[in-house]
Structure formats: C-alpha cells, structure tokens
A and B are shown apart, each in its own frame.
Chain A
Amino acid sequence: MSPIEQLSQDLKAQFPETEIEIRKSDDPNGFQFLSLVVGDFAVAVEWKSEHGFGISSFREDPSSLDGLFDSPSEWYTTEQGAFHRVASLVCDLRSTRLQPVKISDVRQERGMSQEEISRLLRIKQATYSKLERREDVKISSLQKVVEAMGGKLLIQAVFKDTRDVRELTFQ
C-alpha cells in the first residue's frame, strides 16, 4: 500500500462522511494525489517519495483563480504527521493559507511532546511550557523552538496596498 493509500484509509476510518479520492500518476515514481471534500471545504494532498506530503486546504468559490499553480502550503515527511494535520484541518474546517497558529498546535501536529522539545533545547520542561503560554516571545527563542521541531522560521511582512510580501531578516 502506498503512503497516499494509507493516508486515504486512515482518513476514511476517521471521517467516514467525507468524500475522498486518490489518483496516481502513470509514472510509478511520480506524484500521487488525495482530495478530501467536506461540503465546500477541501483538502488537497500530494505525495512523492523524495518530497513527502504536501498539504493545502481551502474553502472558496471553485471558479476562483486563487491558488492555481501554487505549491503546497505545508509539507510533512511522515504519513502520521500528514494524517494528524489533515485531521486537524477537517475538524476545524480551516484553511492552511496564512492562518495564525499557536506554537503548541504546531508542536502537537508534528507529534512532539513538550518533554521532547525541552530536551532538544536543553531547558527544563517547565521553562518550555511557560514559553508556549507567553504572549510575547523573543524572535531568537522562537527560531530555536521551530528548529527543534525540524523547521525554519520565516517572518513575513504583508502590505495590502501593493500586494507585496517581504521576508524579513535581522542583522
């Protein structure tokens, strides 16, 4: 069973009322796709062995051109991680696109405990727990947390008047 088929099976078991379709490219080493629809909410997943699972979700007019030719909003290396993320999206029916999330939500979606992160950061769990609950966090601290989760911190400034999106760095 391919990873996308496994994901489909797991999602069908968890959400029997949803429509789920999978499709495979003719190339046996090519992409495989999963579409999940709940009413007007959709989750699209694409998988290829060297990339993992790319996920995007959206709720909008099918005639909208928004998102065409976009690459996935999020990537997960394991089927378990992809399953947890898709499940959270379906439970909350929210888009992957530029939605603010709590550090604790991201940590849980990646299947990591506070203990694990605090061990990687070489701090006490109580200290890390306080960090997750803070309203204001140093960028350097957030960067270390994201890297401990296996990610990279990018900070974007979005300007509505010119549709610019700028990636910010600090000296």
Chain B
Amino acid sequence: MSGIPSKEIRLKEFFRRLHSAVATASFEKAYELLCSTLDQVEDELSGLPNEPDQWMTLDRMFPPQTDRMSSVSGCDVKRFDSLRHITYIARNGAIEIRSRRKAEKPVIHFSKAGSDGKHVSDVCPKLVDENL
C-alpha cells in the first residue's frame, strides 16, 4: 500500500473532477455523476476494491447510497447524510457537499451548479443559512 495517496488527496481529486465535469440537468444525472466520479477516483488511486458491502471495514470512499437519502421540506432538493458531511442534490442537477459541523454559517466543501447555472442554495434559499 506504500505510495497510495492519502484520503485527503483523493478527496480533492474527486472534487476537482466533479467540478470539471459537464453540469447536469436532473437529480438522477447529478447523482450518477457524483457516484461514478468518486468510484473512478477510488478505483485509480485507493488501491482498494470496489466492494460496497465492505463499506464498514474498507478504508475506501463510497458514494452515499439511497438508504441515506431524505427530502428537504418544501424544496426540490434531496439530502444524503454521512457521519461528517451532508450531500445535497437538487432537481436541476446542482450538487453541494457541506460539513455537518455547525459554524456561524454552513461550511461548504464543494458546490457545483446545475446546467441552468443555479446552485443548491438558489434552488432552495432556506439552505443558505442552515443545513435543513
């Protein structure tokens, strides 16, 4: 396992590729883009097999599954909960990854607009100030 990039480096590469990808126009396409991009990065860089049923013990990053998904009330946005972060995907294809930890304002690790140019907070303004 010597020489394998740290998880932080792989995560930044995931963000880089996701940012560079063509913006999508739907929740489904955005979710597919997020999952496939993370899988590709981990396939290339982690040295670990893509075995999602081993997610509890493998030190590989896996995309959020739909059993973690909930709806943001009153908005066309879905939310995926993980231990330390929240992934929002809007109906227009916008993606946002935020820290679960509270600061004065939500801490956004990554944000990508949908193909219409709108970000998650544009689709759901009440997410500007809170992680709902």
Please list the residues of chain A having a beta carbon within 8 angstroms of any beta carbon in chain B: 23-27, 29-31, 33, 35, 37, 42, 44, 46, 48, 51, 54, 56, 58, 60, 62-72, 75, 162-166
Instruction: Give the dominant DSSP class at B's interface.
Output: loop
The one of B4, B6, B59, B67 that contacts A31, using a Cβ cutoff of 8 Å = B67
How far does the alpha carbon of A162 sit from the alpha carbon of B2 in the complex, in Å?
A: 7
Which residues of A are found within 8 Å of B82, using beta-carbon distances?
A: 68-69
The answer to whether B36 has its CB under 8 Å from any CB of chain A is no
Which residues of A are found within 8 Å of B38, using beta-carbon distances?
A: 69
Which residues of A are found within 8 Å of B56, using beta-carbon distances?
A: 51, 54, 71-72, 75
How far does the alpha carbon of A64 sit from the alpha carbon of B59 in the complex, in Å?
A: 18
Which residues of B are found within 8 Å of A48, using beta-carbon distances?
A: 67
Contact status B83-A44, CB under 8 Å: yes
The answer to whether B11 has its CB under 8 Å from any CB of chain A is yes
Per the 8 Å Cβ criterion, residues 52-84 of B in contact with A are 55-57, 59, 61-62, 66-71, 81-84
Which residues of A are found within 8 Å of B7, using beta-carbon distances?
A: 68-70
B122 CB, min distance to chain A CBs, angstroms: 22
Pairs A–B under 8 Å by Cβ, sample size 22: A25-B68, A25-B81, A29-B67, A42-B100, A44-B83, A46-B81, A48-B67, A54-B56, A54-B83, A62-B103, A62-B107, A65-B109, A68-B82, A68-B84, A69-B11, A69-B38, A69-B82, A71-B55, A71-B56, A71-B57, A162-B3, A166-B1
Which residues of B are found within 8 Å of A68, using beta-carbon distances?
A: 7, 11, 61, 82, 84-85, 97, 109
B10 CB, min distance to chain A CBs, angstroms: 9
Which residues of B are found within 8 Å of A33, using beta-carbon distances?
A: 81
Which residues of A are found within 8 Å of B57, using beta-carbon distances?
A: 71
B54 CB, min distance to chain A CBs, angstroms: 10
- CB-based nearest A residue for B104: A62
Which residues of A are found within 8 Å of B2, using beta-carbon distances?
A: 162, 164
The one of B12, B62, B101 that contacts A69, using a Cβ cutoff of 8 Å = B62
Contact status A23-B81, CB under 8 Å: yes
